[in-house]
Amino acid sequence: EEHLLNITFEACDTTGRGEVMASTVMQYLQSMTSQSPEQGRLSRLYDMLDPDRKGVFVNRDVFQATMKRWISQCSQDCLLDDDYQSLGEDHCKAPINGYLENVYQRLEWCNISKTLAKATVLDFPRIESRDMISTVADLRHANHSLSEQNSSLLKAVEACDEKNLQLTAEVSKLKRKLMSTQRSAVSFESLSEELDEARRLIKDSQERACRIKTYNNKLKKENECLRAQIQLLEEVNEKLAQEKSFNKTCLAKLMKMQSEMRKELDETHVLLASKDREITQKTMLIEELKFSQMENHRIIEGMYSEVQRLQKTNEETYASL
């Protein structure tokens, strides 16, 4: 592309100054395309090169950049036109349109290349002898590029043929599917019966769903009652926990008191045992004293009897005297 743009610029720059007027470029392209610079895509290019029509000069870099931008816009316009035309076609032809669009773009670029090459040949007398060798080399390169593009076009045509065969096979497949659909229509009556059965099942399911919904509402109410009871039980449990804590405190106090009382009881038992031993000793002492008293009493009685006997004896003695 850049090479062809250089050829076009050199064809317009006959003086070799390195810059040309925008009007000169438009006249050259008009002579090559037989289109008016005030109409169509050339008008857009003219607006890009010289918007105010003041006869400005453009150098090689500006010319190449503007031409590349113009070619890109034209390519996009071609794509949009092809897309718009493809909307009216059958859906099954969409893949072919893609290939044809590619072929169309390649052909369009070939026409541009041939036009520029033709322009170079027409302007050949104006090219200096020192540039003839490079021009011939450029033409050979352009010829080689055209050969490669021709090969790619042939490949694209072959791809279109293959795609056409694929579409034919798809059409046959769709026909078979249509026949299968027609056969399926015969079983519509059985499907209708199955549909009625399905409707009956749906009705039964709806009734069951209604009963389940009623039962679910009942369960919700019972659940709310159970929640209230659980809350009440939790409150009671909290109170019982408080009472349990209080009872634990009381029990600890009672156990402490019991321990103290047990200690006092043990001390009392020890004291009672000591007192019991003392009582036993005193009882034994009393028994010994009783026994001594009885012995003394017998001795006293014996002595009293002896005294009486002596008194009686004494009285008898006095009496005998």
Considering the chain, what is the average pLDDT of its residues? 75
pLDDT, position 135: 65
Choose between 86 and 256: higher pLDDT: 256
Give the residue with greater pLDDT, 194 vs 154.
194
More confident residue, 212 or 31: 212
3-state helix, strand, coil in the chain (%, to 5): 90, 0, 10
Task: State whether the Cα torsion 116-120-121-126 is positive or negative.
Answer: positive
**Which residues contact residue 164 at a Cβ distance below 8 angstroms, ignoring those fewer than 6 apart?**
96
Q: Is the pTM of this model over 0.85?
A: no
Model pLDDT, residue 85:
43
- Residue 131: its pLDDT value, please? 55
Token pair 């090969």 is found at 151
Question: pLDDT band for position 78 (50/70/90)?
Answer: low
Q: How long a stretch of residues is the chain?
A: 321
pLDDT at 94 over 60: no
Is 1-78 a domain of CATH 2.40.128? Answer: no
Beta strands in the chain (DSSP E): 19-21, 57-59
Mean pLDDT over 154-171 rounds to 77
Percent of the chain, pLDDT > 70?
73
Question: Which residues lie closer than 8 Å to 48 by C-beta, 6 or more apart?
Answer: 66, 69, 70
Confidence (pLDDT) at 36? 63
Cα angle 219-222-228, degrees, rounded to a multiple of 5: 140
pLDDT tens digit string along 19-57? 888 888 888 877 776 666 566 677 888 888 888 888 888
In terms of Cβ atoms closer than 10 Å to its own Cβ (0-12, 13-18, 19+), residue 156 is middle
Q: Check pLDDT > 80 for residue 133.
A: no
- Whether the pLDDT of residue 180 is over 80: the answer is no
Backbone angles phi, psi at 212, to 5 degrees: -65, -35
Q: At what angle do helices 2-12 and 94-122 cross, to 10 degrees?
A: 40
74 burial (CB, 10 Å; 0-12 / 13-18 / 19+) is middle
Please, which pLDDT band fits residue 199 given cuts at 50, 70 and 90?
A: confident
* Domain parsing of the chain, residue ranges: 1-78
Percent of the chain at pLDDT > 90 equals: 3
Average pLDDT over every residue of 171-197: 78
Q: If we measure between CA atoms, which residue out of 54, 62, 66 comes closest to residue 19?
A: 62
- Identify the CA nearest to 67 among candidates 114, 2, 161, 14: 2
pLDDT tier for residue 80 given thresholds of 50, 70 and 90: very low
Show the tokens assigned to 120: 């170079």
The closest of 97, 114, 96 to 150, measured between CA atoms, is 114
| Residue-level pLDDT at 45 | 84
In the prediction, which pLDDT does 89 show?
37
How confident is the model at residue 107, as a pLDDT?
37
CA angle 313, 315, 317 (to 5 degrees): 70
Strand partners, 59: 19
d(CA 306, CA 20): 193
Long-range pairs of 70-77 with CB within 8 A, sequence gap ≥ 24 = 70/41, 70/44, 70/45, 71/1, 73/44, 74/41, 75/105, 77/41
Mean pLDDT of 121-139: 51
**pLDDT(246) > 80:** yes
Grouping H, G, I as helix, E, B as strand and the rest as coil, residue 58 is strand
CB atoms within 10 A of CB 86: 16
